[in-house]
């Protein structure tokens, strides 16, 4: 209801009532998530509930408003709550004042509570000083919970105060900067009253800089210092922590150069990790168990990533221990693309025409966590030669590809490098896996129906385990894979390919492998509703080394010494607009092992 008495002034009143019967069972929560916290109750009993609200609001045009509400909440004979709420927003002559709060009193069979939550934000914007805004803010949450019979202060009571100030620019120019400082006092129940337990000081810096249309820079940095006032009231320790992020975007020379760079730092606590393998239904996992010592007891070093889906019957679950490590985290992430074709696509001769056929894409990502206090550069992400005694985790990925004639319908070529390294410290010591791979590939569409492509790859695969030395290897790999494709029409395609691969483990027993893989793949689409795909592979493997070891598993990739045969056929049929039927059959004969047949069927519904 609105009542207008004076020009530019409004009086708005409201009244609400809600009743919920004890037999009512909602399918989904219909109240906001903070409702139980706002009313200081946590009972799951189904009771009759009454919620009533009355209030009024006074508003003036171009000035602000003032709101007051009174609420009551009743849950039968076991709970009664009464809450006063207020809020005000004033905006005049550069001043902004936001004040709101609530005061709750409850009475139930177990406890009596009072919950006071005021907060304010007052600021002034100076138009003549480049729209600089200066403000102060504060808030309090004091939740006092006393036992209903003894009137003693309970341990689930809490209380904190927070105040602060800030200064920031609010213009829309090239640069904006903001600085914010706040202090927080935390109190804990002590001798039927509250006593100061910790004091935390925090300063926050953020901003953005847009020097031109092609470049954008954003940053933020937070530093926090926690001091312990009474060690008997908290389990926390005195600590200094920080969190920062810088992000830069570049789109220059009409799109020739595109770059995104992210740099992030933080400090905190890192729990020690351990892995647990859990059995799942066949085909629903990622790992397979190989009982190498034939004791029928799974050990951590007997699990490998499954090469065939029907053998994937374990998942790896990461569990956190109750031991924590103080650590520093730094991340650097950069993606870069160079595309001269963006400005020289019309050139037909000279060096510009040649350069327009080139394109470069690269990505570098480094994630590093080291123990706090060690003599290591905390903020330098490129310092990755970390001693095991200081390292927590390390992730490194680098990919770079140089394209020639990219996306040309006739031919194209690529050359590049892929590198990755993952190292982590577990309860069983460190584990590391790394891959370095260099490659060259090309594609040539000989005619509209025939095309030839090939890829040559050489590099290293390495694994290092502190506790399980039998899992260590360093494999040197060479691989070449030419491929012929015959595309009769959009419904029928045949791919014939040959792969030769050679590898050698350069440590321990120096296992060797030579592999010849000939396969044919046929795809037939009878219509837009039916698709049939089949593939047959003949693989001859010459492996020298001990079988049933982690090294042999990594080199053989599920195959066996001698002749191997793999085949599969799949059938997809669209039954209706929303239903898809899929049938799949796979078979394999690896070395001296028996033939294995696997069939799958599924129906998927999309809505």
- Say if residue 3's pLDDT is above 60: no
- Quote the pLDDT of residue 282: 82
pLDDT of 254 strictly over 80: yes
Strands 287-289, 257-279: pairing is: unpaired
Averaged pLDDT for residues 168-193: 90
Band the pLDDT of 325: cuts 50, 70, 90: confident
How distant, in Å, are the alpha carbons of 115, 223, 360 from that of 163?
19, 16, 51
**Domain 428-434+457-607, CATH:** 2.40.160.40
- In whole angstroms, what separates CA 368 from the centre of its chain? 16
Calculate the average pLDDT of the chain.
89
Distance of CA 419 to the CA centre of its chain: 21
pLDDT bin (cut points 50, 70, 90) of residue 319 is confident
* pLDDT band per the 50, 70, 90 thresholds, residue 140: very high
β-pair partners for 71: 53, 83
Residue 76 clears pLDDT 90, i.e. is over it: no
Pair 438, 458: CB distance under 8 Å: yes
Identify the pLDDT of residue 31: 87
Give the Cα separation of 156 and 142 in Å (integer).
12
Residue ranges of the domains in the chain? 1-102, 110-237, 247-417, 428-434+457-607
Structural element, H or E, at residue 354: helix 350-355
Query: How does pLDDT run across 567-603, given as a tens digit for each residue?
Result: 999 999 988 888 889 999 999 999 888 999 999 898 8
Amino acid 374: pLDDT: 61
Has residue 4 got a pLDDT over 60?
A: no
CA atoms within 13 A on the CB side of 478: 6
d(CA 379, CA 365): 15
Give the pLDDT band of residue 58 (cuts 50, 70, 90): very high
Q: Is the pLDDT of residue 390 over 90?
A: no
**pLDDT-derived band of residue 6, with 50, 70 and 90 as boundaries?**
low
131-135 long-range contacts, CB within 8 A, separation 24+: 131/169, 131/170, 131/171, 132/167, 132/168, 132/169, 132/170, 133/166, 133/167, 133/168, 133/169, 133/170, 134/165, 134/166, 134/167, 135/96, 135/165, 135/166, 135/167
55, two tokens: 């209030």
Average pLDDT over residues 383-401: 86
- How far from the centroid of its chain's Cα atoms is residue 94's Cα? 41
Burial (CB < 10 A; 0-12, 13-18, 19+), residue 380, is: exposed
Quick one: pLDDT band at residue 61, thresholds 50, 70, 90?
Answer: confident
pLDDT over 90 (residue 366): yes
Q: What gap in Å lies between CA 488 and CA 486, rounded to an integer?
A: 6
Among 62-76, 189-203, 303-317, 514-528, the range scoring the smallest mean pLDDT is: 303-317
pTM for the structure as a whole: 0.79
Cα pseudo-dihedral 319, 297, 593, 509, rounded to 10: 80
Query: Under DSSP, is residue 471 helix (H, G, I), strand (E, B) or coil?
Result: helix
Question: Are 524 and 491 a contacting pair, CB within 8 Å?
Answer: yes
Alpha carbons 306 and 290: distance in angstroms, whole number: 10
Q: Please, which pLDDT band fits residue 310 given cuts at 50, 70 and 90?
A: confident
Rounded to an integer, the average pLDDT of 374-379 is 74
HSE value, Cβ hemisphere, 13 Å, CA-based, for 390? 16
Q: Return the SS3 of 346.
A: coil
Q: For 245-272, what is the mean pLDDT?
A: 90
| pLDDT for residue 66 is more than 80 | yes
Cα–Cα distance list, 311 to 269, 289, 304, 586 (Å) = 38, 9, 10, 13
pLDDT score for 182: 97
Report the C-alpha gap between 531 and 581 in whole angstroms.
11
Q: SS3 string of 518-568?
A: EEEEEEEECCCCEEEEEEEEEEEEEEECCCCCHHHHHHHCCCCCEEEEEEE
Token couple for 25: 């069972």
pLDDT one-digit tens code per residue, 477-492: 999 999 999 998 888 9
Looking up tokens 């905390």 gives 378
């Amino acid at each position: 209801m609105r009542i207008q008495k004076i020009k530019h002034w409004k009086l708005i009143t409201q009244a609400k009532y809600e009743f919920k019967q004890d037999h009512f069972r909602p399918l989904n929560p219909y109240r906001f998530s903070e409702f139980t916290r706002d009313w200081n109750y946590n009972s799951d009993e189904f009771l009759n509930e009454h919620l009533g609200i009355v209030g009024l609001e006074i508003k003036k045009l171009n000035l602000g408003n003032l709101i007051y509400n009174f609420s009551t909440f009743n849950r039968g004979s076991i709970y009664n709550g009464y809450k006063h709420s207020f809020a005000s927003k004033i905006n005049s002559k550069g001043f902004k004042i936001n004040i709101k709060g609530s005061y709750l009193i409850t009475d139930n069979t177990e406890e009596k509570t009072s919950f006071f939550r005021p907060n304010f934000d007052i600021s002034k914007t100076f138009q003549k000083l480049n729209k600089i805004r200066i403000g102060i803010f504060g808030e309090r949450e004091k939740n006092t919970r006393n036992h209903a019979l003894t009137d003693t202060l309970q341990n689930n009571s809490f209380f904190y105060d927070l105040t602060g100030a800030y200064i920031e620019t609010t213009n829309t120019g090239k640069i904006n900067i903001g600085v914010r400082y706040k202090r927080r006092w935390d109190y804990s129940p002590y001798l039927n009253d509250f006593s100061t337990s910790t004091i935390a000081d925090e300063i926050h810096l953020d901003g953005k800089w847009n020097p031109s249309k092609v470049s954008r820079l954003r940053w933020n940095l937070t530093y926090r210092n926690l001091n312990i006032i009474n060690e008997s009231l908290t389990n926390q320790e005195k600590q200094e922590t920080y969190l920062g992020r810088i992000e830069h975007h570049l789109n220059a020379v009409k799109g020739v150069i595109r770059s995104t760079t992210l740099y992030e730092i933080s400090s905190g606590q890192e729990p020690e990790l351990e892995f647990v393998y859990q059995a799942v239904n066949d085909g629903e996992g990622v790992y397979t168990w190989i009982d190498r010592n034939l004791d029928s007891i799974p050990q951590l070093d007997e699990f490998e990533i499954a090469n065939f889906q029907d053998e994937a019957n374990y998942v790896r679950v990461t569990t956190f221990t109750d031991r924590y490590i103080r650590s520093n985290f730094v991340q650097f992430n950069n993606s870069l693309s160079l595309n001269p074709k963006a400005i020289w696509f019309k050139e037909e001769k000279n060096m510009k025409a040649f350069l327009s056929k080139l394109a470069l894409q690269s990505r570098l990502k480094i994630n590093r966590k080291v123990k706090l206090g060690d003599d290591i550069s905390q903020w330098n992400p490129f310092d990755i030669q970390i001693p095991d005694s200081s390292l927590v985790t390390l992730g490194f990925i680098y990919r770079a590809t140089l394209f020639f004639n990219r996306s040309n319908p006739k031919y194209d070529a690529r050359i590049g490098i892929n590198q990755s390294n993952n190292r982590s410290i577990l309860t069983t010591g460190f584990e590391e896996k790394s891959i370095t791979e260099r490659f060259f590939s090309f594609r040539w569409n000989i005619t509209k129906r025939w095309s030839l492509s090939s890829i040559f790859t050489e590099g290293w695969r390495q694994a290092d385990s502190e506790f399980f030395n039998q899992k260590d290897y360093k494999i040197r790999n060479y691989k070449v894979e030419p491929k012929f494709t015959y595309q009769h029409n959009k419904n029928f395609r045949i791919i014939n390919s040959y792969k030769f691969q050679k590898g050698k483990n350069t440590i321990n027993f120096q296992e060797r492998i030579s592999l010849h893989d000939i396969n044919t793949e046929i795809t037939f689409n009878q219509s837009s509703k039916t698709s049939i795909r089949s593939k047959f592979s003949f693989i001859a493997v010459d492996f020298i080394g001990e079988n049933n070891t982690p090294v042999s598993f990594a080199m053989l990739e599920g195959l066996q010494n001698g002749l191997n045969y793999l085949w599969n056929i799949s059938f997809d049929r669209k039954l209706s607009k929303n239903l898809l039927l899929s049938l799949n059959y796979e078979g394999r004969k690896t070395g001296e092992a028996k033939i294995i047949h696997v069939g799958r069927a599924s129906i998927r519904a999309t809505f």
